[in-house]
Amino acid sequence: MRKSNQEIKDTEIIKEILSGSEICRIAMVDDGQPYILPFNYGYKDHCIYIHCAPAGRKIDLLRKNNHICFEMEQTARIVEHEKACKWETMYRSVVGYGTIEIVTDFENKKRGLEIIMAHYGAPDTNDFEPRQVEAIVILKLTISKITGKQSGNWDKESIKPTM
């Protein structure tokens, strides 16, 4: 990391970013070219869970190569200033690598859905229609490497957003 003073080394803060972000972007490889998509997700026990359709470009790509890169930001906000060159971005983010497994077992698919729903604040008990669970795919991303970064202005209380 070029700006090592902005690196987040505290694993609890990295977990906070993983647990508190809204969108996870997954980058795959398509015939040597990058292909990135945003997803709703859930995080638990060093794994990210995503639901998606059972067919399409991303599923085809993951079956060929399940090694991915992902990114998410807990906060990203522009901080305005009177002078153009003094505008800043305040952020906390993570970038990681891992492998994705396509979950096919009904109970594990249901567990993945529960983790996703809990991430967005749904009640603990979710009554999923078996037909709907069967119709979707759950992707389980096992994180192998992750780094965190925050803007140099993160600790300025006057501009920090409420979370």
Indicate the domain borders of the chain.
4-148
pLDDT at 140: 98
User: How wide is the angle at C-alpha 116 spanned by C-alphas 139 and 162, nearest 5°?
Assistant: 130
**Token pair 């040597």 is at which residue?**
32
List all residues 6 or more positions away from 148 whose beta carbon is below 8 Å from its beta carbon. Answer: 7, 8, 9, 13, 14, 17, 92, 93, 94
In tens, the pLDDT along 5-20 reads: 678 899 999 999 999 9
- Note the pLDDT tens digit of each residue in 55-84: 999 999 999 999 999 999 987 677 677 887
Confidence of residue 156 (pLDDT cuts 50, 70, 90): low
Report the predicted TM-score, pTM, of the whole model to 2 decimal places.
0.86
Termini Cα distance of the chain: 26
Query: 151 pLDDT band (50/70/90 cuts)?
Result: confident
Measured CA to CA, the distance from residue 27 to residue 71 in angstroms comes to 8
For the record, the structure tokens of 6 come out as: 């902005």
Report d(CA 41, CA 25) in Å as an integer. Answer: 10
At the second CATH level, the architecture of 4-148 is Roll (2.30)
User: Does residue 96 sit in helix, strand or coil?
Assistant: strand
What pLDDT shows up at residue 89?
73
pLDDT band of residue 163 (cuts 50, 70, 90) is very low
User: What are the beta bridge partners of residue 72?
Assistant: 94
- The pLDDT of residue 74 is 83
